[in-house]
Structure 1
Amino acid sequence: MQKIILTLLLLSTFLIYSQNKETEKILSEGKLLFRMEKGSWHGTDDMLARFKTKKDSVGGYLSYDTAENKINTIFFSRFDSDKILIRYEFDSLPKPQPIKIDTTNHNATDLEKNLISIRQDARNRAYANEDKFFSFYEKTSLNFIPVITDKERNVFVLTGPQVSGIVLLGNDYKLSYDKKNEFKKKEKIHNSILQFPNASEDKENPTVSTIHSHVITEYISSTDICTLLLYKNYVEWNQHIVISEKEVSIFNLEKESLFTMKRKAWEKIYNNEKDKK
């Protein structure tokens, strides 16, 4: 199998990338989700280290992309969500050290109010779970990422591990809202949850690539890309493959590039490599 994966790696270097508007949006959206989650990670770490006395007053947090292509991470009040307790500003690709920290208890901007509104609605719906739509697993937590663009208002829900040494894909959702922040619909992005170890137990045979299948969608999801980028510095593998009924998506973690091909072509490569053995 690893020989087949290496063949695919070489092909993805020389073949023309099979991209369309859908896959371009998936890649762009995945990178945006990654940047925002990275800001939330660093902001949370700094808040817990620097502002311990504010911890019990925090009602939640979120990150968003600014017009200057920076990432803002805000922590809003448990008692009044329109009050921002701490506001961080990070580079476009957030580093642990923020550019700015503001603790002046500002009122939330209109954009922040809208982001908080849909985030809190999504969170309440998930934990109420009246129709048993959402699944919950031990030693995991749900992360809510609101995104507002000119055309859409969505909250992406990712499942993150509370233990080290693994990457989780799946058990993710998208909740959609209208321009008045009224809930429209919710959908599952994956039907299940998958666990991948950061490294192979066999040191002489390191993991080259990981793989999973899609039933709901044809391509890799933006939430997959977000998660893979978040953990790329902690795993030994550099490639993840998603196989659906008609398409195969190959994501390179180091280059942050997405290559897609028809499943028939992928199976032809797979079968040719097997025949050579």
Structure 2
Amino acid sequence: MKQIIKFFFIFIPAITFAQDLKYSEKELQQKLDSIKTEANLLFSHENASWHASDLANTNPKLRENMGSYLTYQSKDIIKTVFLNKDQSKIIAEYDFKNDQKSPVKESFTQRELDSTESTLKNIHSVVIPQLSDPKYEVALPQGYSLNLILIPFKENYKIYLISGTSQSGIIPFGNDYLFVSDNKGKIISNQKIHSRLVPAQATMGDRSIATMVTHSHLKTNPFISATDICTFKLYAPLTKLEEFSIYSPALGTYMKYNYKKDSIEIVKKP
């Protein structure tokens, strides 16, 4: 039988308990609700991308002519569409609803890109080359990937980069970024959400299983992040974990997220 242990992955700066920020209970709840809403939007997009890619790659004929993909929201549906290799046509479409693993609709009829898809394709093509600029310090640790999530934001676009891995038993927190571009794809602001990659091990070499993981944020990033929650929701179902926490030195408290309840709780200690 595998040993069950409570495992904490903690990276805490030297000065941790200074409470520099003050929020009323209502203000704090509003902030956490906003973070959770953004996290669930990110998850809905990445969940669709994951499962659509898995399905597309099992289709040999489709895989032969498959180029890049786009994932976007249309009313209550999250669509992932695959372009052909010269990026001129849509050759497959998968529609997802309510974060399900299986699409509610599939189409393999070749068609032209609609106006939304053309805009998103153009934003991608302009944004991606900019990300290699050294001033953004975008890193790609060995054994990890970076997945791009593009979301309309007022008149602009948010571009999230979140870490991914195929390594078993790892939840790849950290090494995540948020960019905002104008409606032409020119980056106008950027944020490195975590200072580095913070991979959490759900299983250890001795075959023991973690029941809790946590990491610490810098004082400049006082809240649990939407990318933290999105990443956990993607990888936790592959483990025995149901919740994780972050320690906020700026607030002197822990924030615990449970993906089955989709809840964020303020706790003194997880």
- Normalised by the length of structure 2, the TM-score is 0.81
Question: Is structure 2 residue 77 aligned with structure 1 residue 70?
Answer: yes
Pairwise mapping of residues 149-160 of structure 1 onto structure 2 (< 5 A)?
149-150=153-154, 152-160=156-164
Pairwise mapping of residues 1-277 of structure 1 onto structure 2 (< 5 A)?
19-50=28-59, 52-67=60-75, 69-81=76-88, 83-95=89-101, 97-126=102-131, 128-131=132-135, 133-150=137-154, 152-200=156-204, 206-215=209-218, 216-247=220-251, 248-260=254-266, 266=268
**CA apart distance, 1:56:** 4.6
- Please give the secondary structure, in 2, of the residue aligned with 1:36: helix
**CA apart distance, 1:223:** 0.8
Identity %: 26
Deviates more, 1:205-214 or 1:39-48: 205-214
**CA apart distance, 1:123:** 2.6
- Structure 1 unaligned regions, length at least 5: 5-15, 271-277
Write the distance in 2 (CA, Å) between the matches of 1:145 and 1:100: 22
**CA apart distance, 1:113:** 2.2
Please list the CA deviations of residues 69-105 of structure 1 after superposition, one character each: whole Å capped at 9, or x if unmatched. 1211111233135x2121111122122x322222222
Change (3 A) 1:165 1:86: same
- Please give the secondary structure, in 2, of the residue aligned with 1:191: coil
Write the distance in 2 (CA, Å) between the matches of 1:103 and 1:210: 41
The aligned amino acid for 2:35 is: I
- Please give the secondary structure, in 2, of the residue aligned with 1:136: coil
- Normalised by the length of structure 1, the TM-score is 0.79
Kept in 2: contact 1:18–1:259 (CA 8 A): no
- Please give the secondary structure, in 2, of the residue aligned with 1:246: coil
Change (3 A) 1:131 1:150: closer
Write the distance in 1 (CA, Å) between the matches of 2:105 and 2:66: 19
Task: List structure 1 segments (4+ residues) > 6 angstroms apart after TM superposition.
Answer: none
Kept in 1: contact 2:201–2:210 (CA 8 A): no
Write the distance in 2 (CA, Å) between the matches of 1:228 and 1:151: 29
How many aligned positions are there?
247
Kept in 2: contact 1:199–1:237 (CA 8 A): no
Change (3 A) 1:206 1:161: closer
- Structure 2 unaligned regions, length at least 5: 9-24
Kept in 2: contact 1:229–1:253 (CA 8 A): yes
**CA apart distance, 1:18:** 7.5
**CA apart distance, 1:224:** 0.8
Write the distance in 1 (CA, Å) between the matches of 2:141 and 2:80: 27
**CA apart distance, 1:238:** 2.1
